[in-house]
Amino acid sequence: MQRMTLPNGLTVTHVNTGETALLYRDIFAERCYMQHGIRLTPGDTVFDVGANIGMSALFFHTECPGLVFHAFEPAPVPFSALTANIGTHGIRATATQCALSDHSGTARMTYYRESTVMSGFHADPAADAALTRGFLMRSGFEEEDVDDMLEGRHEAAEIECEVRTLSQVIAERGITAIDLLKVDVEKSELQVLRGLDEPDWPKVKQVVAEVHDLAGALKDFTSLLESHGFTVTLAQDELLRGTEIHEAFAVRKDT
């Protein structure tokens, strides 16, 4: 791991420079999470599922001091960076090295050392490389440069990690409200929601998630939220037009 100073002057522990720069663009520069009615106030509880190195938690912390975080990241190297960044920036957070899903136990996930944000239980190196290639080409890079950038980027390793459910964590920690549930878990987002038992759904006030629309997952994800009282707005990054990746913003109709 190494240290990097972001364009806004904050310093973070991170895994690789290109990935961190992209996270900064999305989270800080474009404020991708604070859209379509998503709001936070000091004292709110945020569940950061798929926390990676903690860039989203750092953004929320700087945007609204006084938040309480529960951050979940299964991969060991990003998790180490996450805990370092929590400590460096005084973020009030409980970091847990595990994945959240619709069951508890252990599972094997695919980890990309050079593309940690694309790691997950449903990773497909060939498909993920094609997705990254399209993104980089639309970003304006020349094909020859893209070839160089993709070299070794999706070399995969299998790691075993702990898996828990949202409701299991809620019960263990006595959580009474999740003011924002942020989910970025690479094709496992629907399973995260399905890990909520019915009595716990009213505790969730807002949801923002990256959703991969594979086998009707986007419709299922949206329908599940709407059936529990949320109004859902969908969006897509211009650089991801025509891909499976969408953003979902959900707020309760009574808020």
Question: Where would I find the beta strands (DSSP E) of the chain?
Answer: 2-5, 11-14, 45-49, 68-72, 93-96, 99-101, 105-112, 156-165, 180-183, 206-212, 230-235, 245-252
- CA-CA distance, 115 to 111, in Å (whole number)? 8
- CA-CA distance, 38 to 248, in Å (whole number)? 11
Q: State pLDDT tens for residues 137-146.
A: 777 766 766 7
Point out which residues pair with 219 in neighbouring strands. none
Percent of the chain with pLDDT over 90: 78
For residue 149, name the pLDDT band (cuts at 50, 70, 90): low
- What are the structure tokens assigned to 173, written together? 């920690």
* pTM for the full predicted model: 0.93
Beta-carbon contacts of 153 under 8 Å, excluding residues fewer than 6 positions away, are: 112, 114, 115, 129, 132
Q: What is the crossing angle of helices 55-63 and 76-88, to 10°?
A: 20
For residue 37, name the pLDDT band (cuts at 50, 70, 90): very high
Beta-carbon contacts of 30 under 8 Å, excluding residues fewer than 6 positions away, are: none
For residue 255, name the pLDDT band (cuts at 50, 70, 90): low
Q: State pLDDT tens for residues 192-249.
A: 999 999 999 999 999 999 999 998 999 999 999 999 999 999 999 888 888 899 999 9
Beta-carbon contacts of 127 under 8 Å, excluding residues fewer than 6 positions away, are: none
- CA-CA distance, 223 to 215, in Å (whole number)? 14
For the chain, domains (ranges, CATH) are: 34-252 (3.40.50.150)
Sequential DSSP letters for 111-142: EETT-GGG-BTT--HHHHHHHHHHHHHHTT--
Q: State pLDDT tens for residues 87-138.
A: 999 999 999 999 999 999 999 999 998 889 999 998 888 888 788 777 777 7
Residue recorded with tokens 């975080």: 69
Contact 44/18 with Cβ under 8 angstroms?
no
- Write down the pLDDT at residue 151: 75
Amino acid at 254: D
Mean pLDDT value of segment 22-51? 97
- Write down the pLDDT at residue 196: 99
Contact 201/211 with Cβ under 8 angstroms?
no
- Write down the pLDDT at residue 148: 66
